[in-house]
Amino acid sequence: MEPSSGSSRLPSQHTNIRAPPSRPSRSRRIIQRLKPSLETRRHINYIVRPAPVLYYDRLNIFAEIDAYIASREGHIPPEVPNRDPQSGGVSSPVGVATVTQPCIAAKKEVSPTTSASGVGSVEQSKWGRDNKKKDTYWLFPPRGINMDVPPRGYGDVAMVLPGSMGEKANGNHEDESLIDPADLEFDGPDDKRNPRNWPMWERIYNSVVPMIACFIVSFGASVYAAAVFAIQDQFGITLTQSLAGITLYVLGMGFGPFIAGPISETIGRRAVYFYTLPIAAAFSLGVGYATNFATILICRFFSAMFGSGVLAVGAGAVADIWDVHGDGAAVYTSCILLAMAFTGPSIGPLVGFQVIADNLHWRWTMFIVCIMIAAFMITVPFTRETYKKAILVAQARKDKKPLKKPPPKESLGLLFTVTLFRPVRMMFIEPIVCCISLYNGFCFAVFFAFFESLPYVLLGVYQPGERGLANSFLALSLGSVLAAATCAAFEWLVYQPRRQQRIDRGMTPIKPEERLYAALVGSILFPAGLFIWALTAKEDVPIIVPLIGCVLFAWGSVVTFIVTVIYIVHIYNTLLGASALGANSLVRYAMGACFPLFTVQMYDRLGIQNAGILLAAIAAALGPIPWTLFFYGARLRGRSVFIKEGKTESPASDEGVERV
């Protein structure tokens, strides 16, 4: 007899008993072992489903989410209009909306309803499928889920939707209670947290510290010049290969903002000193203990990359403490800070050749850099944070306010835009940025070329001792100091009185081009000094005469650099100013890295006079650039696309001096 329906079939002699299944293969066992569990499959189903899922308890409707999204955007699709429950239609409670996207239906059976788009009655039971609405389909739960047990989150209208963590079904994608750090402001102009309201001694101290840091980092670039010949003899390399240590250091300085930018944005400017300078000292120590030339090159590059972060942070700190647009003290401080970018390199060979003269090993030139950084780090704990955003965010966290975290990709994209993409674009379409970058780049390159040309000329013509050669670099230092004093004098005696006079008379604001008077003087001193250097470097002419030419050259090049950088900060707003200075830095460091590689070869093949005249002629050809900006700068600013965009975005801000 056949067994009754529903009863189990027992084996008998009339029933064929199947053999036990064979053991699965090793690969199949591994696959079964790695097969995700039911809970994992449920999570995956939640993540990859093409639409959000809502569960509703004891509702006579099924969720239609796209109409809810459309209603939040201010319009409702014509096929899903609002429906009033009193008129017999289907309405949505708060946080519920109609949808034509995939979703899970309510567990409870619903009464027949009629859609607004003309679809007939729809009958739905449990997790069924709506076959009437062609634009709606229903997801089925994974196998093994008990259909009679409500899913987790059943009836929770505010259930989290797919997307970012914390997004609610009845809210925006971002919690409106979170505070954007960009919206934080000081409590009025007299807020004591504002660095511009600090006591004078504290403002001066926090301005001097980045100046010293700038001096130390730039000092490390040129102190290596005294060890070039010793490294060449020890490792058996060519002079050009030995000079690559200067080239890679200058190139590394160009990557400093990529290190300092994220630290400054997330933690603050003060943290850059704590994180980057010790690493720079460690790589300088690596150069001192290097046993091969490749180690020297690698350590030189990374030492500059980490150390140069303080250059950008120092310029930003000065802009935080002083009002660059109106305060004369801000310009005086900026003049000293920018002059340190040239004073440090001019002092480096002076100290380096003194080390060689004392019969010390060339490695001591690197150990001196480490000692200077270690001594400088003692002053850092006594500084205060100057970055406005870091100050306000720290206070908000102390007050336990909920803060919104910007997406990492957005911050990274902004960093590359400000420091790389936009600067390259501005170099090609902004005449002001292009001209100033080329002029400053040539000044910087010739300045670094003198670290090789000055020893070559003086040793070949006058043959001074090692200490005399070291003292000759004081000419470049004197020119840098005179440049800073000249810029401060023009600001104090010319620009500030005229600015105040126009304010008192109620006239239009003074033009930024009024700050370029010192650059006009520098455009004459720069080529004049190079001509004197080239034509007077002879045995029958005292050594002091070509050194006077060095003073004039350094004076003219540095004064033009300082004034044009301040001019760029004045005419552009926050991010555009940083990008304009970024273009200036890219050109300056690229040219400064290349010139030392061929300077000695150029003087050797062309001769001392012809090589010097060539550089002087190029400087004279670039001389009209400051004059053009002085007379036609206002017209060029009027045609600038970036300046127009900057005026529509935000007013000019002092934070544009972020990268120097």
Going from N- to C-terminal start, the domains of the chain cover 38-176, 199-383+422-658
Which conformational region is residue 58 in: left (phi greater than 0), alpha (psi within -120 to 50 degrees), or beta? left
User: What are the tens digits of pLDDT across the range 170-224?
Assistant: 444 445 567 766 677 788 788 888 888 899 999 999 999 999 999 999 999 999 9
The pLDDT score that the predictor gives to residue 155 is 43
DSSP 444-475: HHHHHHHHHHHHHHHHHHT---HHHHHHHTHH
pLDDT recorded at residue 422: 79
- pLDDT of the residue at 285: 94
- Per DSSP, 511 falls in state P
What's the pLDDT score for residue 220?
A: 92
Q: Count Cα atoms within 13 angstroms, Cβ side, for 520.
A: 11
Gap between the Cα atoms of 464 and 470, Å rounded: 9
Query: By the 8 A CB rule, do 67 and 60 touch?
Result: no
Q: Which amino acid is at 417?
A: T
Which residues, 6+ apart, have CB-to-CB distance to 383 below 8 Å?
Answer: 205, 206, 209, 270, 273
Cα gap 302→612, rounded to integer Å:
33
Residue 125 is predicted with a pLDDT of 41
pLDDT attached to residue 632: 92
Q: Look-up: residue for tokens 């080390």?
A: 355
CA distance 441 to 590: 8
pTM over 0.75: no
Q: Residue 415 has what pLDDT?
A: 66
The pLDDT assigned to 135 comes to 42
Phi, psi of 98 (to 5 degrees): -80, 155
DSSP designation for 160: B
Q: Collect the ranges in the chain with pLDDT lower than 50.
A: 1-15, 51-63, 76-174, 648-659
Cα 307 to Cα 138: distance, rounded to the nearest angstrom: 59
Q: Classify domain 199-383+422-658 at the CATH class level.
A: mainly alpha
Q: What is the dihedral of CA 570, 571, 576, 582, to 10 degrees?
A: -60
In this predicted structure, what is the pLDDT of residue 373? 95
- The CA-based angle 543-560-475, given to 5 degrees, is 20
Task: Quote the pLDDT of residue 117.
Answer: 40
Quick one: pLDDT at residue 603? 93
Give burial (CB, 10 Å; 0-12/13-18/19+) of 17. exposed
